[in-house]
Amino acid sequence: MFLMIGVNDKEEQLDYEGVMTCDVCGAYGRYEVFLVCSVLYLFFIPTFRFNYRYYVRTSCCNTLYELDSGIGEAIAKGERVRITEEDLHLLNRGRTYKKCIYCGYATGEDFEYCPKCGNKF
Ligand SMILES: [Zn+2]
Ligand SMILES: [Zn+2]
């Protein structure tokens, strides 16, 4: 007889209500809070969960943050907490603003040349 062990990551969306103004794109959006944990399977039965991580994704531009685990745990327990900027660590910017160094034109699109003055970004 041999032991069958496997590890899989599991993602779960948590309930979090509250609107915010996005730091990255400046639009109104919502934070979508996710819990990711690793699950140890023993003979295909989930037996042990570990390595809990919490992430936040913005609904406006899909920017991804890592969330402070204390706040993440509170949300997972259903406590009413507010996510503040200090709880978030930027992982991946969503739509980024490009700004033309010649005329100051800012855009969320991935232009190679400035649509206003024609210079290269
Ligand atoms: Zn945004
Ligand atoms: Zn320009």
Looking up tokens 């739509």, which residue turns up? 95
Strand 64-67 and strand 28-42: the pairing is: unpaired
Q: Is residue 108 part of a domain?
A: no
Range of the structural domain that residue 47 is part of: 5-95
Ligand closest to CA 31 = 1
Give, for all 121 residues of the chain, the pLDDT tens digit: 577 899 999 999 999 988 899 888 888 889 999 999 999 999 889 999 999 999 999 988 889 999 999 999 999 999 989 999 999 999 988 876 677 889 988 776 778 888 899 998 8
Could you list the beta-strand ranges (E) of the chain: 5-14, 19-21, 28-42, 45-58, 64-67, 88-92, 98-99, 106-107
Q: Is residue 115 part of a domain?
A: no
Q: How far is the CA of 90 from the centre of ligand 2 (A)?
A: 28
* Count of domains forming the chain: 1
Q: Is residue 109 part of a domain?
A: no
Helix (H, G, I), strand (E, B) or coil at 1: coil
Q: How far is the CA of 28 from the centre of ligand 1 (A)?
A: 7
pTM value surpassing 0.75: no
How far from the centroid of its chain's Cα atoms is residue 72's Cα? 12
Q: Is residue 110 part of a domain?
A: no
